[in-house]
Chains A and B, each alone.
Chain A
Amino acid sequence: MRGEFKEIVAFAPPASTTGAIGWLRQNLLSSPFNVLMTIFSAYLILKLVPPVLDWAVFSADFIGKDQSACTSGGACWVFIGARLDLFIYGFYPFDQYWRVNWMFALLAFTFVPQFFDAFPYKKLFGLIALIVVPVVAYVLLLGGSFGLQPVDTNKWGGLMLTLVLAYVGIVAALPIGVILALGRQSKMPVIRTICICFIELWRGVPLISVLFMASVMLPLFLPEGMNFNKLLRALIGIVMFQSAYMAEVVRGGLQAIPRGQSEAASALGLSYWKSMGLVVLPQALKLVIPGIVNTFIALFKDTTLVLIIGLLDILASVQSAIVDPAWRQVSTEGYVFAAFSFWVFCFGISRYSQALERKLHTGHKR
């Protein structure tokens, strides 16, 4: 038997469990090991961050035109500024830079909206980015039509070349990979065998040897006088190589979808392609977004390998600039710049995929 009920008015929790102090106790000081890790991390931060900041920002030189402006002992960002044209456009003719700028603008214009959920024409812009932009960029960059001065691909370089390689690789590798993955699961032995052979062949050789073969060996086997563009050969090599990887990623997704899904689709009268396109693939691809993005990021960074066949991507153009005798000791700045450029794009891809995963998560698997 209890006494008379007396309502307790809600009051605040103990001060030590909320606010900044509570957070500190819970997250940084919850156990002896945690305290140790906190002290260790604090030590590392104090030891590493100030010198890096000092080098990169406080004692760095930003303004100037040449080596003489770099006097204060920190990073010589003047070098990056002075050679930025090379890093971005390669040897593309100066008076034609606007064409490259248009390509950058087009890419930004179609891709940036993809990051915003509220934007109403996302699908349309996505389709434009995947289908129209490559065609426009091809006409724009190569020239020779619509009164545009032709620019040979051996003049292409820097960030622009990196983006061309990565973009074509990404846009082509995914659909080819999906087709290969479906083919590998086909009931028809001929199709299945062809797909397995293709995948295992390309996946079994290093990308460097693919590029070497594309640039050095392939011309030996082609008939005399027949010679197609080095960039195109490198592109085909990259696309074949990456689509084999993509196929295996997609296959993983296909295998995770229960057979009942395609059975239900068949029972409703959907044909094989409709059942794949409307029921199985949307689920399978959603499931392997992390794997697909992983492959995209690997592809983006693998484009640097084209430097061994003499194409001057952003890394190669940085490398060619840092050996310039007019500049002293700028290799760190150059490599930091190249690494940062790659990081920006790869981080962007990664963030986008995370947003996509959250959006497509209907959350309730059977």
Chain B
Amino acid sequence: MSDTATNPASNNGLAVEIKEMHKWYGDFHVLKDINLAVEQGERIVICGPSGSGKSTMIRCINRLEEHQQGQILVQGIELTDDVKKIDEIRREVGMCFQHFNLFPHLTVLENCTLAPIWVRKTPKALAEENAMKYLERVKIPEQAAKFPGQLSGGQQQRVAIARSLCMNPKIMLFDEPTSALDPEMIKEVLDVMVELAEDGMTMLCVTHEMGFAKRVANRVIFMDAGQIVEENEPNEFFNNPQNDRTKLFLSQILAH
């Protein structure tokens, strides 16, 4: 630990390292003393009641939110105000949102090739070939020429995953990827995410899909009121929760 503090570049091979991180919205203390180390290839599921700061925390990892105190290192690069470093990190970190946030004025294929062409300077033909590969992987290559608004929610979220993958990220962040979906579409998205996990992608996933957590997570993190309350491997976490708040939360979401 102390080694990484003095020499961030060595990083012990960690994918993400958050140290004593605090964040405020104005006067409101949203994240309190967050400490988290994520190994390469590790799959982490983050859960907790709404307003507990889970989304804010993973949005700090690609600097969609700014932290005010503490350190965040991603692939050994520290997040500061340095725009170049932020861009460098964002190229390595993909993100999927609750509301997909596909670009409605571009076709599915153009959604997938936009960043590779404009950020990575990939030639258009190569970018398209690559995009088709990922669209096949999320099982919707036949929708490539359509506009996002013509697809179902589940299809849109899969396009969003493919769009992120086209940048060849080392880490994927998922911010409640299935919360806006109808029940019958949740499975198709989770299937893609499970496959991704099995391929060894480093994943941080805010979700209430406990089945998914049991199946793929290495660790489950429970947050409440801006703090990490409990952190354990899934079996222990679900069968033997330590903290009262965790027990209450689990009893509520697993009740039916």
The yes or no answer to A123 lying at the interface (CB within 8 A) is no
Residue-wise, chain B 98-141 has the 8 Å CB interface mask toward A (1 for contact) of: 01111111000000001100110000000000000000000000
Given contacts A269-B119, A278-B118, A366-B148, contact A264 B103 (CB under 8 A): yes
Tell me the nearest residue of chain B to A260, going by C-beta. B101
Q: Nearest Cβ distance between residue A165 and chain B, in whole angstroms?
A: 33
Q: How far is the CB of B99 from the nearest CB of chain A, in Å?
A: 6
Contact A267 B147, beta carbon cutoff 8 Å:
no
Contact of B97 among A260, A269, A274, A360 (CB under 8 A): A260
| Interface of chain A residues 248 through 275 with chain B (CB within 8 A) | 258, 260-261, 263-271, 274
Chain B binder among A112-120, A129-137, A279-287? A279-287
- Return the chain B residue nearest A280 by Cβ: B103
Complex formed: what's the CA distance from A362 to B114 in Å?
Answer: 17
- Of A258, A268, A274, which contacts B163 at CB under 8 A? A268
Q: What are the residues of chain B within 8 A of A279 when measuring CB–CB? A: 103, 114
Interface of chain B residues 39 through 96 with chain A (CB within 8 A): 62, 64, 83, 87, 90-91, 93-95
The answer to whether B101 touches A362, judged by C-beta atoms less than 8 angstroms apart, is no
> With the chains together, A270 CA to B114 CA distance in Å?
9
Residue contact B150 to A364, C-beta cutoff 8 Å? yes
Contact A266 B64 (CB under 8 A): yes
Which of A261, A271, A362 is B149 in contact with, Cβ under 8 Å?
A362
Q: Does B207 contact A (CB under 8 A)?
A: no
Bound together, the chains give a CA A261 to CA B160 distance in angstroms of 12
Is B99 a contact partner of A274 (Cβ separation < 8 A)? no
B147–A363 CB distance below 8 A = yes
Whether A365 sits at the interface, judged by CB under 8 Å, is: yes
Please tell me if the beta carbons of A267 and B105 are within 8 angstroms of each other in the complex.
no
Name A268's contact: one of B105, B115, B148, B150 (CB within 8 Å): B115
Contacts of A278 in B (CB 8 A): 114, 118
List the B residue with the shortest CB-CB distance to A282.
B105
Contacting pair B64 A286 (CB below 8 A): no
Do residues A268 and B114 form an inter-chain contact, with CB atoms below 8 A?
yes
- Is B11 on the interface with A (CB-CB < 8 A)? no
Whether the Cβ atoms of B149 and A268 lie closer than 8 Å is no
Binary per-residue interface labels of chain B (134-162) against chain A in the complex, 1 for a CB within 8 Å, 0 otherwise:
00000000000001111000000000100
**Closest approach, in angstroms, between the C-beta of A279 and any C-beta of chain B?**
5
Considering the complex, give the chain A residue whose CB is closest to the CB of B100: A366
A326 to B181, CA, bound (A): 79
Closest CB of chain A to B20's CB: distance in Å?
25
Residue of B nearest to A259 (CB): B101
Residues from chain B with Cβ under 8 Å of A267 in the complex: 62, 64, 90, 93-95, 164
Within 8 Å CB of B95, what residues of A?
A: 264, 267
Say which residue of B91, B99, B149, B163 sits within 8 Å of A365 (CB atoms): B149
Chain A min CB distance to B43 (Å) = 19
Q: Is the CB of A263 within 8 A of B101?
A: yes
Residues in A with CB closer than 8 Å to B167 are: 268-269
Distance between B116 CB and nearest chain A CB, rounded to angstroms = 9
B46 to chain A, nearest CB (A): 17
What are the residues of chain B within 8 A of A270 when measuring CB–CB?
Answer: 114-115, 118-119
Query: Are B90 and A266 in touch, CB under 8 angstroms?
Result: yes
Q: Would you give the shortest CB distance from B172 to chain A, in whole angstroms?
A: 11
Name the residue on A nearest B115 (C-beta): A268
Q: Which residue of B lies closest to A261 (CB)?
A: B101
CB-based closest 8 A-B pairs: A364-B149, A264-B101, A268-B115, A260-B101, A267-B95, A269-B90, A269-B91, A269-B119
Residues of B within 8 A of A (CB): 62, 64, 83, 87, 90-91, 93-95, 97, 99-105, 114-115, 118-119, 147-150, 160, 163-164, 167
Besides A269-B167, A360-B105, A362-B147, 9 other CB < 8 A contacts?
Answer: A263-B64, A264-B95, A264-B101, A265-B103, A266-B90, A268-B115, A268-B119, A364-B149, A366-B148
A-B contact pairs, 26 of them (CB 8 A): A258-B99, A260-B97, A260-B99, A264-B95, A265-B103, A266-B62, A267-B62, A267-B94, A267-B95, A268-B164, A269-B91, A269-B119, A269-B167, A270-B118, A270-B119, A271-B83, A271-B87, A274-B119, A279-B114, A283-B103, A283-B105, A362-B104, A362-B147, A364-B104, A364-B148, A364-B150
